[in-house]
Amino acid sequence: MLFSSPEFIFLFLPATLAVTFLVGRYSDQGAKLFLIVASAFFYIVSGPEDLLVLALALFANFSLALAIERGRHTRLLLAIGITLDVLILGYFKYFNFITDTINAAFGHEVSHGEFRHLPLAISFFTFQQIAFLIDVARKRIRRPSLVNYIFFLFFFPHLIAGPITSYLPISRQIELKRVFTPRVRNLCFGLALFAVGFAKKVTLADPLGAYIIPFFDKQSELGFLTAWLAAFAYSFQIYFDFSGYSDMAIGLGMMFNIRLPLNFASPYKSFSIQEFWRRWHITLSNWLRNYLYIPLGGNRHGTGRTYANLILTMVIGGLWHGAGWGFVLWGLAHGVGLAVNRWYGRSGLPSLPRWFAWLLTFLFVTSVWVLFRSTTLAGALTQLQVMANPLTILTDSYRPFVRPAELNRMLVLVGISGAIALLGPPAYRVARATIGPNHGLALRTALYCGALFALALIGLTGGTSKNAFIYFRF
Amino acid sequence: MPSSISASSDRQKIRAGLSTRARHAIALMAVGAVLTLLAYLGLAVFQMGNWAGAEWWLKDVTELRRMLYKERLAALPPNQHKVVLFAGSASLFGVNSPLVTETSGLPLLNFGLHAGLDIDLIALGSSDFIQAGDEVVVPLEFELYARDRPSELTPANFLAFYYRYAAALPLANDFEILKATSPFRILEGTWDALRYRLFGIRRYPVREGETLRQAWKQESADPEAIREWPYSLSAITPEGDMHVAENTPPRRLASLAETETPRGAEISPFALRQLTGWQRFIDARGARLFMTWPVIVEDDHGTIFKPEYWQTLINLARIAAADGFPIHCDPISMIVPRQYRYDTVYHVNVKGQVLYSEGLGACIRNIADKPFDFAHADPNELAKRARERVESLRQPVAPLLLPYERNLDRLAALAKTLAARKAEDGTYPAQLPSGADLPGIWYRSDGRDYKLLIEDPEECYTVAMAMPERADPVRSKDGRCAAYGYWSAGAKDW
């Protein structure tokens, strides 16, 4: 079930809110349990066997956490836990990739074996469980509660694609008394943020996603302009898709009085790659920093090791997104970008003009999205070559990809998306204005948010919005 | 103490105030959403009647027919029962109304239009012509049985012009169509409407009444117009049929795909709902609805000679009957050989139209008594009969409407004469008998053997398709057959 589907918006969400608050009037624990059941139902819609995988992983991790907490063989148990999580993820996500790579490299015919269906949300689920085990081992979490742990993992607003959070902030919130009683300000903020995210997804990301399909299907036919157009369109598609999803998730959390962490902060306004990663998928960046980069040594072992750690962290981050060489190269490119960024900042060379720094960052990020989006590495490299060769403008034509009317729509959408991404305020600030002290501004913003919600509903008509969220695949 | 009570009370007041404001904000969000939805509905209504991606030729054809049919009905005796036919373009191209009328004994109004539209839209244009005692015959294309949501063309054409006839549809269907409409379509329609109102510019001329009639007369008088673009008034006959006396344009040959429908035997809930709606409408008018087969055109892959194809049709008929829409008549009589295709696997030319209409006319006569007997139908037998029908129509049969048909007929008669002379004199004549002066004719004989050809690169590919044994293996143009005819065994390579 998608957050942007009518059945979620008009059936599941109102019913879940109503029952949670009704039960919450009498029992916090009852409301918590109901939300767990509702979240499981939300997940089951994607396939009951997936729930089983997640449930088994959950109970195994919790048991290990309890064992770790006893303080004996902590490192061994932690290693077992992390290995188990990585193996589960590897089995479902990377087995085919590994066997394909071996087959291609050595001419072997290692069979894929039976078909492996990637359980929805497993990447997010796994990272959160690894973080939980590490936090228990570091004694940041004491005496974890099973119900809270299930709630933390399964709470439907962040279940499928984050924001990646940790056990403690969620557990602390749901331990508060009368947490599941309606709070009008939270509801208002949540509705406004949900509306903004919904509009980003349906009115911008989905139409862009539909238009770029033929461009990425026929990369060998691209010329300079069409290749850049496709790259820009995808750059905005993925931003509005994922940030729209995150806004909806955080908004939904707030409707239930659960605060989820911020995931995006206008990343395309960044002036460096380092800043970009502080603004893009913030919860993943934090996870990679806290549970990978720092344990690898971070910047504590000299310059060379720091650069190596940065690159390795980003390569693993790339691989986390998907099992394919395109994702590995995407991560590598960002790792190298971060390393170069760090080196330049410390080299004593003059700072770049701000407009140039912004342009360089934006073009770099947009270019490497091509690696992320392309279905084959060869196709991605072809497109990147074309993007670097202005002479291909001579043979360029949009006709293999879209009709003239579609090109016009696409250009308008890219223009609007760019203006919003580069000039618009972050969604959370818009939502906060609806409950802010300036009454006039609050009411005006609320009116706009309502209009955005309606525009998104309109966007659902005509088959314009078909795409699931991009990050649901990871 | 009092100050602490006062501070606590202030905090409560502030909190209460903020909550009240948040309530107002939520209420305004709802207002904003409702106003935006209403504004969008307003735009949708405002832009109705404008182009934005609609197939305007459908409007011209529908309105011209309605004008012509009103005049025809006025000339008929009062209470004259008639046949009203609606379906997709298989009937637009496939139905020859005068021939069906002659065979069935009932005047026919052909509303065959475009299978890219949904059943509702196809039927709308005919709705106010259906009267008590009429037979409404629906040779529905197979894909329309299976379609499970409004097609892309439906919203564009509904908003451009079919909304005019929407009174026959329940309001819920209007909303369903609006739900299927891309917001981009509404915005483009709005732009078109504004452009027209502000600058008087339209992307397509809106022709009504006598202007439309004059345009039709002008376009249909131009023989080149059909060749250039038959999807217009140029090919419409005074009876409202599409009359295309052309073979498949050679450039389209490669794109003529394998017959893909029916892919399976199914009637989608969407199609069933629409059919049921029209069944009720027709019943309420005192008329009767009969489903029958669309034209079944042989494809290049021999699909219709396979029992599996016929098994699918049998299954479809079974399901349709179970849903209350029995399909009538023998499907074999609806088959047309591939040399009479026009530009798609559903569209036939004027000769294919005659073949289909003979079958359809015979079907319509006492159609109520002819439900297809799917319970006893044998797919192997149907496949065999399909092949027999196609083979029997390979050699052109009367009426000979296309130039190559007439040529082949004349050549066959000449070959017969030559064979008779050989039987009499022992040799083939050195020259053709007098009167055999067809354009492009070529004859050579050494007494022992002969070769008789017509050089006709324009239509030879059709002959090669239908009767490859008649295509001359020696003469070709641009790698394609250039002459066809008859020859004795020893003259094959002349």
| Angle subtended at Cα A129 by Cα A128 and Cα A133, rounded to the nearest 5 degrees | 120
pLDDT of residue B418 exceeding 70, the answer is yes
**Nearest-CB residue to B21 (from A439, A450, A455):** A439
Residue of B nearest to A195 (CA): B29
pLDDT at A109: 67
Measure CA B410 to chain center.
33
pTM of the prediction?
0.80
Long-range contacts, stretch B447-451, CB < 8 angstroms, 24+ apart: B448/B488, B448/B490, B449/B487, B449/B488, B449/B489, B449/B490, B449/B491, B449/B494, B450/B418, B450/B487, B450/B488, B450/B491, B451/B485, B451/B486, B451/B487, B451/B488, B451/B491, B451/B492, B451/B494
| Angle subtended at Cα B245 by Cα B243 and Cα B247, rounded to the nearest 5 degrees | 125
Residue B141 is encoded by which pair of tokens? Answer: 């294309």
pLDDT of residue B4 exceeding 60, the answer is no
Residue B301 is encoded by which pair of tokens? Answer: 């892959």
Interface contact flag, A462 B183, Cβ < 8 Å: yes
| Angle subtended at Cα A166 by Cα A256 and Cα A314, rounded to the nearest 5 degrees | 125
Average pLDDT, chain B: 88
Question: Are B363 and B328 in contact, with CB atoms under 8 Å apart?
Answer: yes
Residues in chain B with CB shorter than 8 Å from the CB of A455 are 36
Half-sphere exposure of B83 (CA within 13 A, CB side): 30
Question: Are B467 and B395 in contact, with CB atoms under 8 Å apart?
Answer: yes
pLDDT of residue B468 exceeding 90, the answer is no
Question: Are B127 and B165 in contact, with CB atoms under 8 Å apart?
Answer: yes
Question: Are A449 and B28 in contact, with CB atoms under 8 Å apart?
Answer: no
Q: Distance, in angstroms, between A217 CA and closest chain B CA?
A: 22
Which range is most confident: B47-56, B138-147, B466-475? B138-147
**What does the H/E/C string look like for B53-81?**
CCCHHHHHHHHHHHHHHHHHHHHCCCCCC
- Of the given ranges (A28-32, A382-386, B489-493), which has the lowest mean pLDDT? B489-493
Residue type, A233: A
Residue A285 dihedral angles phi and psi, to the nearest 5°: -55, -45
Q: How many CB atoms lie within 10 A of CB B465?
A: 18
Which range is most confident: A269-283, B10-24, B232-246? A269-283
pLDDT of residue A128 exceeding 50, the answer is yes
pLDDT at B5: 54
In angstroms, what CA-CA distances link A418 with A13, A16, B61?
31, 36, 44
Interface contact flag, A451 B184, Cβ < 8 Å: no
Q: Distance, in angstroms, between B419 CA and closest chain A CA?
A: 57
- The answer to whether A208 faces chain B, any CB pair under 8 Å, is no
Residue to mutate among B20, B184, B187, B203, with most A CBs inside 10 A, is B184
Question: Are A374 and A219 in contact, with CB atoms under 8 Å apart?
Answer: yes
List the beta bridge partners of residue B291. B138, B327
Residue A428 is encoded by which pair of tokens? Answer: 């959370």
Residue to mutate among A183, A188, A413, A466, with most B CBs inside 10 A, is A188
Residue to mutate among A255, A443, A452, with most B CBs inside 10 A, is A443
pLDDT, mean of residues A76-94 = 87
Interface contact flag, A195 B34, Cβ < 8 Å: no
Q: DSSP for A265-310, please give it.
A: S-GGG-SSHHHHHHHSSHHHHHHHIIIIITTTTTTSS-HHHHHHHH
pLDDT, mean of residues B55-84 = 91
What whole-number percentage of chain B has pLDDT above 90? 46
**Nearest-CB residue to A464 (from B25, B37, B182):** B182
Please tell me the distance from the alpha carbon of residue B135 to that of residue B84, in angstroms, as a whole number.
6
**Diameter of chain B measured on Cα atoms:** 140
pLDDT, mean of residues A260-278 = 93
pLDDT of residue A110 exceeding 80, the answer is no
Listed in sequence order, the DSSP H helices in A112-223 are 122-137, 146-154, 156-159, 167-175, 184-199, 206-217
Q: For B259-279, how does the pLDDT look when each residue is reduced to its tens digit (9 = 90+)?
A: 666 778 889 999 999 999 999
In angstroms, what CA-CA distances link B285 with B62, B77, B84, B127?
21, 19, 13, 10
pLDDT of residue B34 exceeding 70, the answer is yes
Interface contact flag, A462 B181, Cβ < 8 Å: yes
What whole-number percentage of chain B has pLDDT above 70? 95
pLDDT at B1: 45
Question: Are A197 and A316 in contact, with CB atoms under 8 Å apart?
Answer: no
pLDDT, mean of residues A94-99 = 78
- The answer to whether A436 faces chain B, any CB pair under 8 Å, is no
pLDDT of residue A3 exceeding 90, the answer is no
Confidence of residue A16 (pLDDT cuts 50, 70, 90): very high
**Nearest-CB residue to A435 (from B18, B37, B184):** B18
Q: For A36-58, how does the pLDDT look when each residue is reduced to its tens digit (9 = 90+)?
A: 999 999 888 866 778 888 889 99
| Run of H or E residues at B452 | strand B450-455
pLDDT at B224: 75
DSSP single-letter state for residue A400: T
pLDDT at B182: 87
B319 three-state secondary structure: helix
- The answer to whether A6 faces chain B, any CB pair under 8 Å, is no
DSSP single-letter state for residue A202: I
pLDDT of residue B334 exceeding 60, the answer is yes
Radius of gyration of chain A (CA): 23
Q: From its phi and psi, is residue B432 left (phi > 0), alpha (psi between -120 and 50) or beta?
A: beta
Exposed/middle/buried for residue B16 (C-beta within 10 Å: 0-12, 13-18, 19+): exposed
Which has the higher per-residue pLDDT, B36 or B2? B36
Please tell me the distance from the alpha carbon of residue A285 to that of residue B202, in angstroms, as a whole number.
54
Please tell me the distance from the alpha carbon of residue A421 to that of residue A454, in angstroms, as a whole number.
21
- The answer to whether A404 faces chain B, any CB pair under 8 Å, is no
Interface contact flag, B29 A195, Cβ < 8 Å: yes
Helices A303-321, A122-137: axis angle to 10 degrees equals 140
Question: Are B137 and B366 in contact, with CB atoms under 8 Å apart?
Answer: no
Instruction: Using the structure block, give the residue that is written with the tokens 């720094």.
Output: A357
Residues in chain B with CB shorter than 8 Å from the CB of A461 are 178-183
pLDDT, mean of residues A436-455 = 93
What percent of the residues of chain B are helix, what percent strand, and what percent coil, each to the nearest 5? 55, 10, 35
Please tell me the distance from the alpha carbon of residue A322 to that of residue A315, in angstroms, as a whole number.
11
Is A321 among the residues known to form the active site?
A: yes
